[in-house]
Structure 1
Amino acid sequence: MPATAAAMLLGSGLAAAHVTVNPSSATAGSYSTLTFRVPNESATAATTALTVEFPTDTPFASVRYQPVPGWTAEVVREPLPAPVTQGTVTIDEAVTSITWTADAGTSIGQDQFGQFTVSVGPVPDVESISFPASQVYDDGSVVDWDEVAAADAEEPEHPAPTLTVQPAAADTDGAHVHGATAGGTSSSSTAPPTSAANDLTVTAAQTPASDDGTARTLGAIGIALAAVAVLLAAVGVRTARARR
């Protein structure tokens, strides 16, 4: 029984389904969580493996995959032909592909789809990024999703999952602000801590010293009042003895 494929009836739209990346848009410079959605298109076979390729001309400095129960992931990391600098980061080695292979008894069957999630970043500042993918079935057939449509052209028969990159917004100082990706998926910000947070830290650090000074002042007043009380008591005793 398939252990990880999410069951879903695709109906008459099954033949038009293909491997996609979601969300389909991310902000340049951000860290984004991407999910590759893999529908099973065969009426006689089940999907047992998926390979996704990552770019080497505009590589990601960080690629991490989310474990999927019932599937084994193999990450291929290779040296780049030449170092690539993105912002303040220079990359000389990057993840070039990840292959998910179904364990025994696991597959994506008919009327089902599977999802494979990765976290990537920083997103290169380019127009779009394609992720050529290969879908393997248990009857030995392989479907390559690696065609990239030309501008203003119709979608090819086997399109590669493609991520559209949105430019980062600029603040009033000209610095880049990393926001959320399209489709409502948030991406991690690389902005440094704000000065307000630092101010709060300083204030918290100074508070104990202020409280300590107050405590010492109150203690001194208490000692003085106690001394006065002892003196008055002594005078009262002497006066009582003199009257006798």
Structure 2
Amino acid sequence: MFQNSRTTLRRNITRIGAGAGVALATALALPGTASAHVSIQPGTVEGGEGAVIAVRVPNERDDASTTRLRLVLPADNPIGSVRTTELPGWKATTATRKLAQPIDVFGRKVDTVVSQVTWTATDGVGIRPGQYKDFNLSLGPLPESGHLVFTALQTYSGGETVSWNEVSADKTVEPEHPAPVLEITPQAAPTAAPGATGATTANTASTAPAGASDTSGTASLALSGAALAVSLFAATLAWRRGRAATPLAAAPGAAPPVEATSSEPAAEDARP
């Protein structure tokens, strides 16, 4: 009976371990699946001027290649300058649209902007299963801040087209086919110009806590006083030792020292 209990316990532990392994494998697989979508790289740039971004396209099919990508630019934020670059094995084309009101593009007014860019594979291969590709774009000028929402249409060699155009109202929930988004932050404050180091140092010194400066000055004064006292004491001691060990030299031109003599005559001279 005891042996049967041990066997049953071993089986239960084995089943629990297998179930935990499956759960762990599923949890590890979910982030990779969720992140395999068309995105903008980098996801955040500074606003106000131009930027170079990449539309990153992963292939999500095991039995087909991605042969075409169409990127639709945001209609509510027209971008005056859109440029592609050469990509081996792909051909890039653009479509334009007319604006109701001209916009300023780096100092000049334009009323026609690029509305979409399409990349088509010309090598008969495209993006193979398990691979991805970056499609570079130069955009500008960008808004000062906010975000740009794009729509991407990914076409596979089997004829299937997937639309990446969904935006979730709940930021914590990612839709099945999220739209590529470019976040735009305000430009950073300008740094100090060369030669302004002194002003920066002065400002830093003036903002230091008063207590810290007072304490530092008092400590320095106390140390200086102690050092001076030790120096005077050492000098006095050395002077006294030198005076006791070495007789004073005679001044130049002085008479030699005279030996002391008695005023009384010697005893043998006093006899008649």
TM norm. shorter chain > 0.5:
yes
Residues 71 and 106, structure 1, Cα contact 8 Å, conserved in 2: no
Distance 1:128 1:106 in 2: 34
More helix by share: 2
The CA deviation string for residues 68-94 of structure 1, in whole angstroms up to 9 with x for no partner, is 111111111221233345785544111
Comparing 126-135 with 163-172, greater Cα deviation is found at 163-172
More strand by share: 1
Structure with the larger RCO, 1 or 2 (CA within 8 Å, 6+ apart)? 1
Residues 78 and 93, structure 1, Cα contact 8 Å, conserved in 2: yes
The CA deviation string for residues 210-244 of structure 1, in whole angstroms up to 9 with x for no partner, is xxxxxxxxxxxxxxxxxxxxxxxxxxxxxxxxxxx
Distance 1:100 1:14 in 2: 25
Q: CA deviation at 1:106?
A: 2.4
Residues 132 and 160, structure 1, Cα contact 8 Å, conserved in 2: yes
1:72 match? 91
Gaps of 5+ in 1: 1-10, 173-244
TM-score by length of 2: 0.55
Match of 1:157 among 176, 179, 182: 176
Match of 1:15 among 33, 39, 53: 33
Distance change >3 Å, CA 15–CA 151, structure 1 → 2: closer
Does residue 128 of the first structure (1) align with residue 147 of the second (2)? yes
Residues 37 and 115, structure 1, Cα contact 8 Å, conserved in 2: yes
1:45 match? 64
Does residue 60 of the first structure (1) align with residue 79 of the second (2)? yes
Q: CA deviation at 1:164?
A: 0.5
Distance 1:105 1:87 in 2: 39
SS at match of 1:169: coil
Which one has a bigger Cα radius of gyration?
Answer: 2
Counterpart AA for 1:138: S
Distance change >3 Å, CA 43–CA 84, structure 1 → 2: same
Q: CA deviation at 1:28?
A: 1.2
Distance change >3 Å, CA 72–CA 87, structure 1 → 2: closer
2:128 match? 109
Q: CA deviation at 1:154?
A: 1.2
SS at match of 1:15: helix
TM-score by length of 1: 0.61
The CA deviation string for residues 160-207 of structure 1, in whole angstroms up to 9 with x for no partner, is 1101110123559xxxxxxxxxxxxxxxxxxxxxxxxxxxxxxxxxxx
2:163 match? 144
Counterpart AA for 1:158: H
Q: CA deviation at 1:153?
A: 4.4
Distance 1:119 1:93 in 2: 17
Sequence identity (%)? 39
Match of 2:43 among 10, 17, 24: 24
Q: CA deviation at 1:135?
A: 0.3
Q: CA deviation at 1:107?
A: 1.1
SS at match of 1:155: coil
Distance 1:136 1:83 in 2: 34
Distance 1:95 1:163 in 2: 17
Q: CA deviation at 1:66?
A: 1.2
Does residue 81 of the first structure (1) align with residue 100 of the second (2)? yes
Q: CA deviation at 1:96?
A: 0.5
CA-based RMSD: 2.4
Match of 1:167 among 171, 176, 186: 186
Residues 130 and 163, structure 1, Cα contact 8 Å, conserved in 2: yes
Gaps of 5+ in 2: 1-27, 192-272
Q: CA deviation at 1:26?
A: 1.2
SS at match of 2:33: helix
